[in-house]
Amino acid sequence: MIELIYFSEQEPGSPVYQVIQFNPGEPWQLVDGDEVIGTVDKQHGLWNLRSWVTLPDGLVTGIGQLIENQHFNRLPALITQRWSEYVQQVVMVSDQEYLVICIDGIDLAHFEKLFRGSISELVKDEWKICFKVYDALMSADFEVLFWTQL
């Protein structure tokens, strides 16, 4: 589960919303107080808001920007770019858990040393993360628990 807080900096005193995603790929739930008032998801590159109450204009744009600006969304691409000769795919299970699938034929023990030694350079926000790293056949693995405190 990922939970974000949205408020408009342009409109002081405007409502504060929780934006919650229970599972990767599912729409984000828009919550006001203790009531779900809508969903937000991205389709074909555009953020869409489905709501059963009247909401301010521009809300979906602001929420979309909030979601896209979160570092946990960028981390899979950063890992893949950093270790392109080792990593085939990175899957975000949640903002606290990532699966890293390696390219066939790499030396997993060597990659483990590289990964453990420098993953801290890519994690910019303060949060606890579990990286589960697998070889291409999913027959060997290692796990890195990482907690950055700024």
Give which of 30, 35, 70 is closest to 48, Cα–Cα.
Answer: 30
What's the Cα-to-Cα distance from 149 to each of 34, 129, 133, 146, rounded to whole Å?
30, 12, 22, 10
Judge if pTM exceeds 0.75: no
Could you tell me whether strands 17-21 and 2-6 are parallel, antiparallel, or unpaired per DSSP bridges?
antiparallel
Domains of the chain: 2-68 (no CATH), 71-147 (3.30.70)
Q: Are 40 and 17 in contact (CB under 8 A)?
A: no
Q: What is the pLDDT of residues 102-147, one digit of tens each?
A: 999 999 999 999 999 999 888 877 778 999 999 999 999 999 998 8
